Amino acid sequence: MRRGFVAVVVGLLAACALVGFASAFALASSAGADTGTTDTSTEPPPPTTEPPPTDPEPDPPKPLLIASGVTVGDLAVGWMTPRTAGELLKRRFSKPLVLVVSPTRRVRAAPQELGAHARIEKAVLRAKSARPGVHIPLDVEISRAKLRGYLERTAARFDREAVDAGVVLRGLKPRVIEAEPGRRLKVLRNALAIRKALARHLREPIGLDFEALKPKVLNAKLGPSIVILRESKTLLYYVKEKLVRKFGIATGQASYPTPTGNYEIVNMQLNPWWYPPPSDWAADADPVPPGPGNPLGTRWMGLSAPYVGIHGTPDAASIGYSASHGCIRMRIPEAEWLFRHVDVGTPVFILSR
């Protein structure tokens, strides 16, 4: 009986092995049929070329905006970026000031020319963290030295001296000029007004303040006048604008030339003494009293030029030459005639021609 049981078990095991082998063969045949080949290789599949998935790029950060209602200086910068606010502040501060010189003359000056610098970066930095509605001042630094220098250059352009009424030459004819007031820029006062405008960010026109300069001589009359032509050795006598008489004269030597310029008669003497001038020309000479042979003749008309005058001369042969110590010599009768027709204050114009 035991021998029979063993035989049954062995048979069952053999049957199971046959069934397993048949199943494996069927599977192999099915795989070969699907690929069109009977290759039973176990090599791994080729790597895939598809890139691995990546994370999406993050959105750029939104710019920080200044809180609503914030102002810097006189500019509302709420809901602006700090960069935009800075550019607008710079543009507004850079607007030039208009300086009014006269009703018809204005000068435009940029704040930088006036020595002004606004602390824009500092103000914008404060605005970035400010609460809504906060006002932030825009500080301005001003160089007093640079502002003063600008105003001094402006004064050099627009200051003018007062003009006295008087007699001048136009060509060879005397003319009367009217008195004209002058002006001088008040540098310190105008500097203060400009500093206030820059600090308060004001751009209304600023009228420059000038000091009025009054002429000393307000009126002048055109009476007798003398015009001396040094090289031509000629004296012209005018009454108002009319040439009345012409005289031949002698003028100064090359070493002691008659000076050119605008003068007037300041001293008149009848039968004068002659005193030697302080120069080597008359170093050993003594004073000469009035009378025949006096170097001044009989009349002396002293000018506002030192040691220079119009006078007669006993040396009539010197007329027409450069012979004197700088004075204007005339023939004695002609000097006496001129003496009667002029007075202290009569203008004398000496020209080189």
311 given a catalytic annotation: yes
Residue 341 scores a pLDDT above 50: yes
Cβ proximity of 103 and 207 under 8 Å: no
Cα dihedral 221, 223, 224, 230, rounded to 10, equals 40
pLDDT of residue 26: 42
Instruction: State the catalytic residue, choosing from 16, 117, 311, 325.
Output: 311
More confident site: 2 or 267: 267
Instruction: State the catalytic residue, choosing from 117, 201, 327, 341.
Output: 327
pLDDT of residue 25: 40
341 given a catalytic annotation: no
pLDDT of residue 332: 97
Please state, for a pLDDT cut of 70, what percent of the chain lies above it: 82
Residue 244 scores a pLDDT above 90: yes
The half-sphere exposure of 213 on its side-chain side, counting CA atoms within 13 A, is: 13
Give just the sign of the alpha carbon dihedral 263, 267, 268, 274: negative
Residue 150 scores a pLDDT above 50: yes
Which of the residue ranges 11-15, 23-27, 48-52, 102-106 would you say has the lowest mean pLDDT?
Answer: 23-27
Encoded tokens for 246: 């012409």
Q: At 334, phi and psi to the nearest 5?
A: -70, -35
Q: At 46, is the secondary structure helix, strand, or coil?
A: coil
pLDDT of residue 15: 45
Cβ proximity of 80 and 208 under 8 Å: no
pLDDT of residue 10: 41
pLDDT of residue 184: 98
pTM confidence score: 0.63
Predicted confidence (pLDDT) per residue in 100-112, tens digit: 999 999 999 999 9
pLDDT of residue 53: 62
Domains of the chain (ranges plus CATH)?
A: 63-162+184-220 (no CATH), 224-351 (2.40.440.10)
Q: What's the length of the chain?
A: 353
Residue 13 scores a pLDDT above 60: no
Q: Any bridge partners for residue 166, and if so which?
A: 177
pLDDT band at 43 (very low <50, low <70, confident <90, very high): low
Residues 6+ apart with CB under 8 A from 163: 177, 179, 180, 182, 215
Residue 174 scores a pLDDT above 50: yes
Which of the residue ranges 7-11, 40-44, 100-104, 142-146 would you say has the lowest mean pLDDT?
Answer: 7-11
pLDDT of residue 6: 41
Arithmetic mean of pLDDT over the chain: 86
Q: What DSSP designation does 261 have?
A: E
pLDDT band at 171 (very low <50, low <70, confident <90, very high): confident
Q: Any bridge partners for residue 303, and if so which?
A: 265
pLDDT of residue 278: 79
Predicted confidence (pLDDT) per residue in 203-238, tens digit: 999 999 999 999 999 988 889 999 999 999 999 999
Predicted confidence (pLDDT) per residue in 54-70, tens digit: 656 666 666 689 999 99
What is the arithmetic mean of pLDDT over 301-316? 95
Cβ proximity of 167 and 178 under 8 Å: no
Residue 146 scores a pLDDT above 90: yes
